[in-house]
Amino acid sequence: MDEKKINEQQLSQVSGGAENGGAVYNSGSINLDGGNIVNDSAGIGGGGSQGGAVYNNGSITLEGGTSFSGVSGGSQGGAVYNNGNINLDGGNIVNDTAGIGGGHGGAIYNH
């Protein structure tokens, strides 16, 4: 499986939303190297949403200046929900929340 690399120019000031993985849903192999994911959310449509910015069901590497800020996940993983392999090599995760009043992993939920 070929790894996909997303750099700062491709991932900059992303703001969106989805049921799982507000900005990125990965079931392969991906490397995020720089960029800002801000004010993102998972939980559009309600239910047991996971990963406000990233839902990973494969292999992911977060490098360098990758930054998550003001991100919220429905029930698990305010910034990142991980159900695979994760490698953290720098970056910032700040002011993120999961499941206001009963969620798990405000920054990262590792399953």
What domain range includes position 85?
Answer: 4-96
pTM: 0.83
Start-end of H helices in the chain: none
Q: How many domains does the chain have?
A: 1
Q: What is the pLDDT of residue 8?
A: 54
Q: Is residue 102 part of a domain?
A: no
Q: Is residue 59 part of a domain?
A: yes
Q: What is the pLDDT of residue 40?
A: 76
Tokens of 60: 């992911």
Q: Is residue 41 part of a domain?
A: yes
* pLDDT averaged per 10 residues, the chain (length 111): 61 64 88 81 68 90 84 84 92 81 82 87
Q: What is the pLDDT of residue 59?
A: 94
Beta-strand ranges (E) seen in 1-111 are 4-7, 17-18, 24-26, 29-33, 36-38, 41-42, 54-56, 59-63, 67-69, 72-73, 80-82, 85-89, 92-94, 97-98, 108-110
